[in-house]
Structure 1
Amino acid sequence: MSKKFLIASAVLATLAPAAAFAQSGGAAAGAATGAVGGAIVGGPVGAAVGGVTGAIVGGIADQQQPEFRQYVTTQKVPSYTYREEVRVGAVLPESGVTYHEVPAEYKVKGYRYTVVNNTPVLVEPSSRKVVQVIR
């Protein structure tokens, strides 16, 4: 058991800087986060599986974020004023926020976007949780 913990700790230590660096989202962040979570739960094999799963669930790819931000600007989506920090994991209120479909070319299924404090964000519609902040 302690051997698994040591291996998981080593994987975590290796991937933690990558996860922090890739905080902006996308497949890279999803892969890093999934790998870290998988390593903690299942050791090296869990890291590999978690990395792949995290990449699949990722948001808008880093290289597409400027283009998506420009798209949102052209749509003239009104900004919702949020009193708290706009961050991944924040839960938006039930009313007052309007969600929009993400165009197919961004390859993001199951999420919607909105603008909060003049910042585009991806949101998981059923929980209203911010899953990616577009920088």
Structure 2
Amino acid sequence: MKRITSMSVALFLSFGSALAQTTVVLPGEVRTYVMEQNVPSVTYEGEIVVGQPVPEVVEVTPIPDQPDFAFAVVNNKRVIVNPKTHVVVEVLE
């Protein structure tokens, strides 16, 4: 029978809390606002990935009354980002 040590439990808990810190819950009005905006799309050769920043050339637009979120349209996809870090929070289809 395998024994679970306190070290194993500590590692598991710290890994779980690290994952929880990367999850962002978007208010529904953020998605709605972003989907309703008519802004031009920026063409970018690379891939836009959740958890990675958008390139410097991509201009992000603040979302009114939502200081934790901004957005851009890249390759015809709406991208929600953290306005301070420009890290992608979600890509809307």
Q: TM-score range by the shorter chain?
A: 0.5 to 0.7
TM-superposed deviation, 1:77: 0.7
Indicate the percent of aligned positions where both proteins have the same amino acid. 27
Matched residues, number? 88
Instruction: For structure 1, list consecutive stretches of 5 or more residues without a partner in the other structure.
Output: 9-38
From 103, 112, 121, the counterpart of 2:64: 103
Residue of structure 1 equivalent to 2:78? 120
RMSD: 3.2
Q: Work out the CA distance in 2 between the residues paired with 1:131 and 1:116.
A: 14
TM-superposed deviation, 1:82: 1.6
Instruction: For structure 2, list consecutive stretches of 5 or more residues without a partner in the other structure.
Output: none
Q: Does 1:2 align with 2:5?
A: yes
Please state whether the residue corresponding to 1:82 is helix, strand or coil: coil
Please state whether the residue corresponding to 1:111 is helix, strand or coil: strand
Q: Work out the CA distance in 2 between the residues paired with 1:83 and 1:59.
A: 28
Please state whether the residue corresponding to 2:81 is helix, strand or coil: strand
Which is greater in Rg? Answer: 2
Q: Which has the higher helix share?
A: 1
1:15-59 deviation per Cα after TM superposition (whole angstroms, max 9, x unaligned):
xxxxxxxxxxxxxxxxxxxxxxxx2x28xxx74xx85x667xx24
Indicate if the aligned counterparts of 2:44 and 2:74 stay in contact, CA closer than 8 A.
Answer: yes
Q: Work out the CA distance in 2 between the residues paired with 1:124 and 1:66.
A: 14
1:70-125 deviation per Cα after TM superposition (whole angstroms, max 9, x unaligned):
31xxx311111121222212322223x22212133xxx432211111111111223
Q: Work out the CA distance in 1 between the residues paired with 2:22 and 2:87.
A: 17
Indicate if the aligned counterparts of 2:62 and 2:83 stay in contact, CA closer than 8 A.
Answer: no
TM-superposed deviation, 1:5: 1.4
